[in-house]
């Protein structure tokens, strides 16, 4: 497994941690109120045995909860009310857990029920708030200490008669236990913030910037961090431009060396669509053999890259092309064309799927093509089925298929070509698993035979969808050679899946998708006209994130989680011990 893939994979797996919060702040508002009501009922009816006071204490606690939730939001970074509600919900749930554990302990150990458990729960609630305030909500440790007791203490003082305030809170044993939890939370906060050093000075700031980009759709903070640690490089973008003088149509098959990402809405997450638009929506922006180390870190770098795309070199042009050839070796499939002496290969494992094709596969194919005297080779990662990193046997089969395809292309006769292109821009497609570029189809007529290539502005495809669509085309006697995706990291909505995106076909039904493609294919077929081609090459100086950014961030997150696990286990064991006091 490559280091770059391993680090990105780890980060993707950690994405699920961001799904712990309820999907709507209304849920947190409702459930935090329910939690407060449960706490109030248990304390008033069970611990205090003052049922007659419930009529005013329960509403008073709810009122205090609502007020402190709003006050909290004024002191946290970006003043986000929703995050205040989430913090309140989980803190109150922890308090309920402590109180119920205390009730259970008193029954099992045959002890008198003590207010110690209620006060201990309040201290644990306050300690929890220190952790949340400093890690995700952007406050300093000093301010967190000033705020940590605001909600739990206010609720406790509202719940308990005034005569019990001082004796219950200032009890030496209670203060000692509570102090240990508070100090533990503070130490945990300091240690986890330093978990990424020396590469990442503040793990908390990175987490806060990430959350701001997700919740407020404001990537400026995280982009600033990423850009500061990115590296300068030169990237190549290659295009096959098809032109028809008869219809004045112009189409680009674009193969950028940069990789979409790192995640919506940061940097080049939506760059396939942005390239698509500057090509007048007459393009297919393919996924090159690249990985996340080639992500552009900021919108500024994206603009620099897009602005420079107009300056191209035309190293090759012509009028003829071979018929397509397809080679299958076990799971691996390679589709190939030859434009004069420039080869175009499409690599896929569908329906078995894989992650990004490793760079070493591209390097070996390029060397083989050079030895066979091809002028250049364009390699497309179809990215059309979900899977893990490609295995060694599968990559070996893919290399065999690619080399066989190149050897076959050398022997193939070339013919004049015609092309037609259609897209879904006027179809108003609206599916969460599809990017803004929609779907497109390129129709090629070579030696009186028609061939179709499909494209989707999406992040991969659901396994089997590609095969369903190919079969659907075959029923209409149309030869759909392949479907590719752009690997866009754009998302119109917050995605609550483990990997952080919806692959094409996860939401939209296969039947609907097949009909979309068929309609676009008919449109492309109508536009067939004799064509010439140009191979365009463009080099741009940009900043890319590089593999070390992911390595450093992955290490920081992993270290933080290991530290958190250790502190959590220790705190839990200490809490269990307090039940016997």
Same domain, 537 and 555: no
Query: How many CB atoms neighbour CB 38 within 10 A?
Result: 16
Same domain, 409 and 556: no
Same domain, 396 and 485: yes
pLDDT, tens digit (0-9, with 9 covering 90-100), for 450-498:
999 999 999 999 999 999 999 999 999 999 999 999 999 998 777 766 6
Same domain, 341 and 432: yes
Whether 483 contacts 469, CB under 8 Å: yes
**CA-based diameter of the chain, in Å?**
98
Please check whether residue 11 lies inside any domain of the structure: no
Report the pLDDT averaged over residues 547-572: 91
Please check whether residue 4 lies inside any domain of the structure: no
pLDDT given at position 1: 43
Burial of 142 (0-12, 13-18, 19+ CB in 10 A): exposed
Please check whether residue 274 lies inside any domain of the structure: yes
Instruction: Please tell me the distance from the alpha carbon of residue 63 to that of residue 99, in angstroms, as a whole number.
Output: 21
pLDDT given at position 207: 85
Same domain, 535 and 573: no
Whether 568 contacts 185, CB under 8 Å: no
Please check whether residue 154 lies inside any domain of the structure: yes
Same domain, 438 and 569: no
Question: Looking at the predicted structure, is the pLDDT value of residue 215 above 80?
Answer: no
Spell 469-492 as b/e; 16+ CB within 10 A means b: bbebbeeeebebbbbbbbbbbbbe
What does each C-alpha distance from 476 to 103, 422, 424, 451, 469 come to in angstroms? 70, 18, 20, 13, 11
Instruction: Please tell me the distance from the alpha carbon of residue 95 to that of residue 159, in angstroms, as a whole number.
Output: 14
Same domain, 250 and 396: yes
The encoded tokens of residue 335 equal: 């589709």
pLDDT given at position 383: 96
Same domain, 242 and 374: yes
Which H/E stretch holds residue 202?
Answer: none
- The beta-carbon contacts of 11-17 under 8 Å, at least 24 apart in sequence, are 11/550, 11/553, 11/554, 11/557, 12/498, 12/499, 12/500, 13/498, 14/557, 14/561, 15/498, 15/499, 15/500, 16/498
Domain that holds residue 167: 23-214+551-578
pLDDT, tens digit (0-9, with 9 covering 90-100), for 262-282:
888 889 999 999 999 999 999
Query: SS3 letters for 124-165?
Result: HHHHHHHHHHHHCCCCCHHHHHHHCCHHHHHHHHHHCCHHHH
Q: What is the residue-wise DSSP string for 496-514?
A: -STTSS--BTSSS-HHHHH
The encoded tokens of residue 523 equal: 């449109």
Same domain, 238 and 199: no
pLDDT, tens digit (0-9, with 9 covering 90-100), for 217-253:
778 888 998 898 899 999 999 999 999 988 889 999 9
The encoded tokens of residue 401 equal: 């298929």
Please check whether residue 70 lies inside any domain of the structure: yes
Same domain, 366 and 236: yes
pLDDT, tens digit (0-9, with 9 covering 90-100), for 426-448:
999 999 999 999 999 999 999 99
pLDDT, tens digit (0-9, with 9 covering 90-100), for 372-417:
999 999 999 999 999 999 999 999 999 999 999 999 999 999 999 9
Same domain, 290 and 249: yes
Report the pLDDT averaged over residues 545-568: 90
Please check whether residue 535 lies inside any domain of the structure: yes
Same domain, 99 and 155: yes
Please check whether residue 7 lies inside any domain of the structure: no
DSSP secondary structure code for residue 355 in this structure:
S
Question: Looking at the predicted structure, is the pLDDT value of residue 3 above 70?
Answer: no
Instruction: Please tell me the distance from the alpha carbon of residue 310 to that of residue 280, in angstroms, as a whole number.
Output: 13
Please check whether residue 325 lies inside any domain of the structure: yes
In this structure, of 119-133, 142-156, 192-206, the range with the lowest mean pLDDT score is 192-206
The encoded tokens of residue 82 equal: 């929703």
Burial of 25 (0-12, 13-18, 19+ CB in 10 A): middle
Domain count, the chain: 2
Spell 344-377 as b/e; 16+ CB within 10 A means b: bbbbbbbbbbbbbbbeebbeebeebbeeeebebb
């Amino acid at each position: 497994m490559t280091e770059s893939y391993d680090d990105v994979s780890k980060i993707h797996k950690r994405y699920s941690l961001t799904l712990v919060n309820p999907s709507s702040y209304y849920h947190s508002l409702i459930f935090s109120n329910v939690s407060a009501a449960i706490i109030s009922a248990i304390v008033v009816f069970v611990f205090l045995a003052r049922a007659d006071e419930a009529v005013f204490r329960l509403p008073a606690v709810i009122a205090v909860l609502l007020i402190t939730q709003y006050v909290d939001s004024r002191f946290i970074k970006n003043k986000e009310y929703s995050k205040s509600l989430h913090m309140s919900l989980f803190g109150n749930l922890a308090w309920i857990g402590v109180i119920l554990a205390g009730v259970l302990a008193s029954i099992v150990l045959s002890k008198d029920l003590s207010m110690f458990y209620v006060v201990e729960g309040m201290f644990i609630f306050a300690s929890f708030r220190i952790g949340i305030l400093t890690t995700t909500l952007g406050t300093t440790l000093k301010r967190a200490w000033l705020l940590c007791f605001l909600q739990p203490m206010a609720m406790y003082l509202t719940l308990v008669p005034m005569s019990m305030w001082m004796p219950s809170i200032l009890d030496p044993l209670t203060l000692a236990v509570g102090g240990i939890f508070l100090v533990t939370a503070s130490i945990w906060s300091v240690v986890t913030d330093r978990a990424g050093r020396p590469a990442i000075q503040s793990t908390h700031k990175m987490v806060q910037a990430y959350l701001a980009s997700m919740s407020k759709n404001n990537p400026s903070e995280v982009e600033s961090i990423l850009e500061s640690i990115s590296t300068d490089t030169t990237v190549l973008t290659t295009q096959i431009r098809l032109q028809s003088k008869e219809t004045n149509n112009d189409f680009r098959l674009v193969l950028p060396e940069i990789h979409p990402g790192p995640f919506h809405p940061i940097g080049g997450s939506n760059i396939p669509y942005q390239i698509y638009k500057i090509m007048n929506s007459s393009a297919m922006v393919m996924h090159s053999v690249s990985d996340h180390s080639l992500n552009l870190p900021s919108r500024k770098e994206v603009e620099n890259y897009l602005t420079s795309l107009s300056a191209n070199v035309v190293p090759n042009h012509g009028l003829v092309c071979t018929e397509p050839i397809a080679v299958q070796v076990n799971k691996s499939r390679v589709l190939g064309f030859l434009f004069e002496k420039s080869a175009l290969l499409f690599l896929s494992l569908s329906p078995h799927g894989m992650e990004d094709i490793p760079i070493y596969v591209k390097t070996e194919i390029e060397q083989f093509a050079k030895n066979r005297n091809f002028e250049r080779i364009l390699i497309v990662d179809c990215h059309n089925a979900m899977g893990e990193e490609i295995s060694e046997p599968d990559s070996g089969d893919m290399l065999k298929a690619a080399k066989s395809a190149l050897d076959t292309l050398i022997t193939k006769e070339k013919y004049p070509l015609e092309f037609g292109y259609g897209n879904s821009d006027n179809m108003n497609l609206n599916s969460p698993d599809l990017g803004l570029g929609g779907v497109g189809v390129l129709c090629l007529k070579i030696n009186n035979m028609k061939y179709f290539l499909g494209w989707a502005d999406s992040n991969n495809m659901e396994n089997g969808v590609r095969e369903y669509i190919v079969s659907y085309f075959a029923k209409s006697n149309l030869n759909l050679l392949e479907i590719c995706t752009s690997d866009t990291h754009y998302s119109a909505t917050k995605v609550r899946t483990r990997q952080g995106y919806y692959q094409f076909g996860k939401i939209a039904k296969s039947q609907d998708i097949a009909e979309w493609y068929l309609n676009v294919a008919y449109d492309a077929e109508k536009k067939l006209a004799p064509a010439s081609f140009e191979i365009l090459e463009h080099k741009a100086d940009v900043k890319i994130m590089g593999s070390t950014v992911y390595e450093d961030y992955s290490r920081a997150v992993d270290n933080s989680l290991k530290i958190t696990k250790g502190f959590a286990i220790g705190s839990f064991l200490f809490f269990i011990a307090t039940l016997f006091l």
